[in-house]
Chain A
Amino acid sequence: MIEIKNLHKSYKMGSNSLHVLKGINFSVEEGELVAIMGSSGSGKSTLLNILGMLDGADSGEYNLDNVPIKDLNETKAAQYRNKFLGFVFQSFNLINYKNAMENVALPLYYQKVNRKERQEKSLKYLDQVGLKEWATHLPSELSGGQKQRVAIARAMAAEPKVLLADEPTGALDSKTSYEVMDLIQKINDEGNTILVVTHEPDIAEMCKRIVHLKDGVIVEDKKVEQVRAEQYV
């Protein structure tokens, strides 16, 4: 599903440049649930941004579902993001003047799905994350866990190839974290490919594979026995 070869990325900070990713080689099969771990500054978020086409790499190859991702202009990138990727952010990033259902329907709107179908689909996904009754509530009326579940529903609504989660539990207490991870595991059980960036070991343990990043290189890549989050909920 994802294939990365020799990926480099550096940031210019005034006169000196910061080499963040120093040759990453990495591939993800369909249906995997991968945790990307590392301390802050290890380059894990940068990697996720490049995978999410929010940022461009300096050099290296990136294939997503056998489509080479390179030389994208903004319009093309937006199109690919919409078609291939779902995003879940640490700070939820819901649009605060739109209610839960409208937030979930956004990616569908960009796909030019008609209004009625959009509503049906977004209600279906809200139902999947258990928030159907909250459909008409604004983000400000939801708890952190609920917001993240709406964000997950939104990411899933476009039926992306890959779900990218950047510290999805970073702003939640542990109980809600496990609820969210439970949801992510269930989505993965249905065969969706998911990448989770985290620095919390217990969250990483709930994935099927852990990739450790340190100073811009992969230092460890291992399959693990998945800990089900259900038991903590």
Chain B
Amino acid sequence: MFNRDRWKEILEVLTSNWFRTILTAFGVFWGILILIILLAAGKGLENGIKQDFNGVATNTMFMWTQNTTMAYQGLPEGRRFNFKLEDVDLLRQKVPELKIISPRNSLRSPSGVDNVIYGTETGSYRIFGDYPEILQQNPMYVAKGRFINHNDIREKRKVVVIGDGIRKDLYKEDEEVLGTYLKISGVNFMVVGTYKEKTSNGGNQDSERQIYAPFTSFSQAFNRADNVGWMALTAKNGKSISKLTDKIIGTVKQSRKVHPDDERAIGFFDLFRQYNRVETLFSAMRWIAIIVGTLVLISGVIGISNIMLIVVKERTKEIGIRRALGENPWSIKKQILMESIFLTIISGMTGIITGSLFIYGVNALLDNVGPVDMFLNPSVSVGVVALALTILILSGLLAGFIPAQSAIKVKPIDALRTE
């Protein structure tokens, strides 16, 4: 394999007709380039979409109350209702597979009416009464100060954590935020922290314009009694929230006296199922990329096989001479195979390198232009490149096999007679 004369000969043969060699190599080059770019584009899209799930415990569902649509146990249809705090305890008992249950109440101002006042500045924002655990279920992080904690809950402190967007709206550029008071629907709360979204892929500014208050003080301040409007439920690791959904909904339906068949009384969103759907979509996309790329690659490989057949045909006489001089058929076969593999690998490597440069260029461009919606950091893994190389070597072997076979099939005497 590492024989100087053999390599010299391979180069002599391949360089004897540059134009043809390059055209042939282009087929494989193109195939692998397309394969790599397709995979990278798929990955970029995947990264972009998955960024939205970034930092969220994906094994989570959210549920909220709507109006009942069926009469049940003497209660009419069209009834408005709320979860109660006791439902949270009931769920903890009945569904031990749950890790976190975060009940929430929220306040939204009637459209256009400013409900938050700071000094002379005002704004209209959503306010949540939440438990500290919500921090693990939402893709956000504390930028300054602290988040609400269990002491706040226990002592019903009137404190809030505001989004960075609100800070920008209501405060001056370098004004100290912590310790200031906001008047929210007539009640004063002290700001103890600000938060930011983990996904900063533009557009989504509203999610940084919300206010988090402790659940208990919120309920007290806005007269919610023991009502709960919304819950975020995360299952323990290794348990699927999707499989628990029926049990959870069933439990609260029973305690809220909702007809078991009433599908619309309780709304929910299964993040895990949604996430899975995205996963499935991307694995399908990956397969399409692999199949399309491989098909293009195959046509390149066929090109190589074709040209090797022609090379063998052209060299029939030479092969005859070599055999008359005593070269063994295996050595000839090996020669043809190595030529084919060499050509495949060289052109394939060029394709891989060009593809990588292309991806690098796109990344640099994305960095410069700024984030593009749903597209982030296109890349191919080392594993994929290794796989592509393996495919290349195998296809080189395959491409050379038939020509090599035909090279030694001709008897030396017939080969010598060829003019």
Q: Which of A78, A89, A98, A154 contacts B323 (CB 8 A)?
A: A78
Q: Does B416 contact A (CB under 8 A)?
A: yes
By beta carbon, the residue of chain B nearest A93 is B321
Cross-chain contact A75 with B330 (CB below 8 angstroms): yes
In the complex, chain B residues whose CB is within 8 Å of the CB of A110: 322, 325-328, 331
Q: Give the residues from 83 to 129 in chain A that come closer than 8 angstroms, CB to CB, to chain B.
A: 83, 85, 87, 89, 93-95, 97-98, 106-107, 109-111, 115
In the complex, chain B residues whose CB is within 8 Å of the CB of A106: 322, 325, 327
In the complex, chain A residues whose CB is within 8 Å of the CB of B329: 74-75, 78
**How many Å from the CB of B327 to the closest CB on chain A?**
5
In the complex, chain A residues whose CB is within 8 Å of the CB of B155: none
Q: Which of A74, A98, A158 contacts B408 (CB 8 A)?
A: A74
Q: Does A54 contact B (CB under 8 A)?
A: yes
Roughly how many angstroms separate A205 CA and B103 CA in the complex, as a whole number?
116
- Interface range on chain B: under 10, 10 to 19, 20 to 34, or 35 or more? 20 to 34
Q: Does A81 contact B (CB under 8 A)?
A: yes
Q: Does B317 contact A (CB under 8 A)?
A: yes
Cross-chain contact B326 with A93 (CB below 8 angstroms): no
Q: Does B87 contact A (CB under 8 A)?
A: no
Q: Which of A49, A85, A93 contacts B413 (CB 8 A)?
A: A49
Q: Give the residues from 13 to 59 in chain A that come closer than 8 angstroms, CB to CB, to chain B.
A: 49, 52, 54-55
Q: Does B12 contact A (CB under 8 A)?
A: yes
Q: Which of B5, B317, B328 contacts A75 (CB 8 A)?
A: B328
Q: Give the residues from 51 to 84 in chain A that come closer than 8 angstroms, CB to CB, to chain B.
A: 52, 54-55, 74-75, 78-83
- Given A93-B416, A97-B16, A115-B326 contact (CB < 8 Å): no
- Given A78-B323, A95-B318, A95-B321, A89-B416 contact (CB < 8 Å): yes
By beta carbon, the residue of chain B nearest A46 is B413
Flag B390-410 by CB within 8 Å of A: 1 or 0 each.
000000000000000000100
Cross-chain contact A82 with B4 (CB below 8 angstroms): no
Flag A172-212 by CB within 8 Å of B: 1 or 0 each.
00000000000000000000000000000000000000000
Q: Give the residues from 117 to 158 in chain A that come closer than 8 angstroms, CB to CB, to chain B.
A: 154, 158
**How many Å from the CB of A168 to the closest CB on chain B?**
14
Cross-chain contact A78 with B326 (CB below 8 angstroms): yes
**How many Å from the CB of A155 to the closest CB on chain B?**
9
Among the interface residues B321, B324, B329, which one has the most CB atoms of the partner chain A within 10 A? Answer: B324
By beta carbon, the residue of chain B nearest A151 is B321
**How many Å from the CB of A137 to the closest CB on chain B?**
16
Flag B322-354 by CB within 8 Å of A: 1 or 0 each.
111111111100000000000000000000000
Roughly how many angstroms separate A72 CA and B12 CA in the complex, as a whole number?
32
**How many Å from the CB of A24 to the closest CB on chain B?**
18
Roughly how many angstroms separate A75 CA and B408 CA in the complex, as a whole number?
11
Q: Does B411 contact A (CB under 8 A)?
A: yes
Cross-chain contact A78 with B328 (CB below 8 angstroms): yes
- Given A54-B413, A54-B416, A115-B4 contact (CB < 8 Å): yes
By beta carbon, the residue of chain B nearest A106 is B325
By beta carbon, the residue of chain B nearest A166 is B416
Roughly how many angstroms separate A107 CA and B327 CA in the complex, as a whole number?
8
Q: Does B412 contact A (CB under 8 A)?
A: yes
In the complex, chain A residues whose CB is within 8 Å of the CB of B416: 54, 89, 93
**4 nearest interchain CB pairs?**
A82-B326, A54-B413, A78-B328, A81-B326
Could you list which residues of chain B lie within 8 angstroms of chain A, going by C-beta atoms?
A: 4-5, 12-13, 16, 317-318, 320-331, 408, 411-413, 416
Given contacts A81-B323, A82-B326, A83-B326, 14 further A-B contacts (CB under 8 A): A74-B328, A79-B326, A81-B326, A93-B321, A97-B12, A97-B13, A98-B12, A106-B322, A110-B325, A110-B326, A110-B327, A110-B328, A154-B325, A158-B325
18 contacts between A and B (CB under 8 A): A54-B324, A54-B413, A74-B323, A75-B330, A78-B328, A79-B328, A85-B326, A89-B416, A93-B324, A95-B318, A95-B321, A97-B13, A109-B5, A110-B322, A110-B326, A110-B327, A111-B326, A158-B325
